[in-house]
């Protein structure tokens, strides 16, 4: 299986419904069904990702999908990564977001803004054995990301970072962090700079791990920067351009969250479809009743519509075309669909849907985060509206 995945990934950018795409999707699904599904319940219960799952993700090339081959990656398309996130999330969205953050946020930041030396130093590690994390949010800096209080002080040969970051996905497992801090507060958001921070840097510590409603196997932690020493050469991109890096990276990351949500919705729907064919009431399977059939049909329609939005946004990104509005639409819609489909799945299971012995309650718990991280639903609506309005403004005379 590993060889099949690697061979598929190393090809040219895939087209929707191509033979290569089908092969890659089937390979990832085989891995998800064979290796992840047997561990889902235990990982959720103990709120911990199984180390062997992480090992397999690296071995299969899923942690460096877009990373150029010269740095140990697969050199494939963004759309390929989206397929992988979707298929993993169909079985466990916690694993899906691990792959998503690695590819669409961390690797993407290095590929787009890293200099040659940074790429040579960090991308091979991120492709082979080291998890990355993206540290932007703070207690008072969520949707208003540029209100951050973390500071970076120039100490000559290094920067000294001080502050606290919250809700950092992969915080427990990560060895490399992209951290945002304001190095020139008097310039407002134009002082924000991105830094490459390693877990063993002096003054760096991983703090509290959150006890979450959903995606429990995915670690979400605080990180503490107490005079953290960061070498000057670890500034990612230009000094003072961290705001640009964060905005543009998150625009792409939202498509990845869209993929996570449609994968989740598919998992919940498939479980409901299977169960309604097995559960009998009044002498026949409940999927023979028109009311249940209509619910299943509505779920399938919603999933397909959200899926096309996600795929379209990913294709636009790969083609180098504007995609910000489409990414916001994809994330907003897919998160709504995931929550709605998972909720209906619970109802179709009846009393069984409300207990942990059956899979659908977990899908519902996992779905809620889709409306929150990498830009809340309200922020997506604001982005969509602003771009619609700006595009309709008459040109100045």
What is the tens place of the pLDDT at every residue in 339-357? 999 999 999 999 999 999 9
33 is catalytic: no
* pLDDT reported for residue 142: 80
Window from 185-189, 227-231, 339-343 with minimum mean pLDDT: 185-189
Is the Cα torsion angle 15, 375, 177, 160 positive or negative in sign?
Answer: positive
Is residue 2 pLDDT above 90, yes or no? Answer: no
Mean pLDDT across 57-76: 96
Q: What structural domains and CATH numbers belong to the chain?
A: 2-131 (1.10.540.10), 133-240 (2.40.110.10), 244-392 (1.20.140.10)
Question: pTM for the complete prediction?
Answer: 0.93
* pLDDT reported for residue 70: 97
* pLDDT reported for residue 146: 80
CB within 8 Å of 56: residues ≥ 6 apart: 31, 35
Average pLDDT, the chain: 93
Question: Active site residue: 21, 138, 326, 374, which one?
Answer: 374
Mean pLDDT across 311-324: 97
Burial class (CB in 10 A: 0-12, 13-18, 19+), 125: middle
* pLDDT reported for residue 23: 87
Is residue 366 pLDDT above 50, yes or no? Answer: yes
């Amino acid at each position: 299986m590993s060889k099949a995945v690697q061979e598929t990934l190393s090809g040219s950018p895939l087209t929707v419904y191509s033979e290569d795409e089908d092969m890659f999707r089937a390979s990832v699904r085989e891995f998800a069904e064979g290796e992840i599904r047997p561990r889902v319940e235990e990982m959720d219960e103990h709120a911990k990702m199984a180390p062997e799952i992480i090992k397999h993700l690296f071995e299969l090339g899923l942690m460096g999908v877009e990373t150029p081959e010269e740095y140990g990656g697969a050199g494939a398309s963004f759309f390929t990564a989206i397929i992988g996130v979707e298929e993993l999330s169909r079985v466990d969205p916690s694993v899906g977001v691990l792959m998503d953050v690695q590819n669409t946020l961390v690797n993407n930041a290095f590929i787009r803004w890293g200099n040659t030396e940074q790429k040579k130093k960090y991308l091979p590690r991120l492709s082979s054995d080291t998890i990355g994390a993206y540290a932007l949010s703070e207690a008072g800096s969520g949707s208003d990301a540029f209100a951050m209080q973390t500071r970076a002080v120039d100490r000559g040969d290094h920067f000294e970072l001080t502050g606290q970051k919250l809700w950092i996905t992969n915080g427990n497992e990560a060895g490399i962090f992209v951290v945002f801090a304001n190095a020139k507060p008097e310039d407002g958001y134009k002082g924000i700079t991105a830094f490459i921070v390693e877990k063993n840097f002096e003054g760096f510590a991983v703090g509290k791990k959150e006890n979450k409603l959903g995606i429990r196997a995915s670690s979400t932690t605080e990180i503490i920067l107490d005079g953290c020493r960061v070498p000057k050469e670890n500034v990612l991109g230009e000094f003072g351009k961290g705001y640009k890096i964060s905005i543009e990276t998150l625009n792409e990351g939202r498509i990845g969250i869209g993929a996570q949500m449609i994968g989740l919705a598919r998992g919940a729907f498939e479980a409901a479809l299977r169960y309604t064919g097995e559960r009998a009431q009044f002498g026949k399977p409940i999927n023979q009743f028109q009311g249940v059939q209509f619910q299943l049909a509505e779920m399938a329609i919603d999933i397909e519509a959200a899926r096309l939005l996600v795929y379209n946004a990913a294709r636009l990104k790969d083609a180098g075309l504007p995609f910000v509005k489409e990414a916001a639409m994809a994330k907003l819609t897919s998160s709504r669909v995931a929550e709605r489909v998972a909720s209906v799945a619970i109802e179709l299971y009846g009393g069984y849907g409300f207990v942990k012995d059956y899979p659908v309650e977990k899908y519902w718990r996992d779905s809620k985060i889709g409306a929150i991280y990498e830009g809340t639903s309200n922020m997506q609506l604001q982005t969509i509206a602003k771009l619609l309005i700006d595009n309709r403004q008459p040109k100045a005379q």
